[in-house]
Amino acid sequence: MEILQSAAKLQQVQMGTAKVTEAPAQQSVQQLQKAQISQDKASEANTEAKTVKASSQKEMDDLISKLNKSLDPFSTSLRFGYDDSFYVSVIDTQRNAVLRRFPVEQAEQLLPKMQEVTGILFDIKG
- Measured CA to CA, the distance from residue 64 to residue 112 in angstroms comes to 13
107 CB-contact burial (10 Å; exposed 0-12 / middle 13-18 / buried 19+): buried
pLDDT tens-place string over residues 53-110: 545 888 889 999 999 998 888 888 999 998 877 799 999 999 999 999 999 999 999 9
- Supply the DSSP symbol for 126: -
- Measured CA to CA, the distance from residue 63 to residue 106 in angstroms comes to 11
Residue 91 parent element (H or E)? strand 87-92
Q: Is the pTM of this model over 0.75?
A: no
Ordered structural domains, the chain, with CATH: 56-122 (3.30.160.170)
pLDDT tens-place string over residues 47-56: 444 444 545 8
pLDDT tens-place string over residues 3-38: 555 555 656 655 554 444 444 544 565 665 566 666
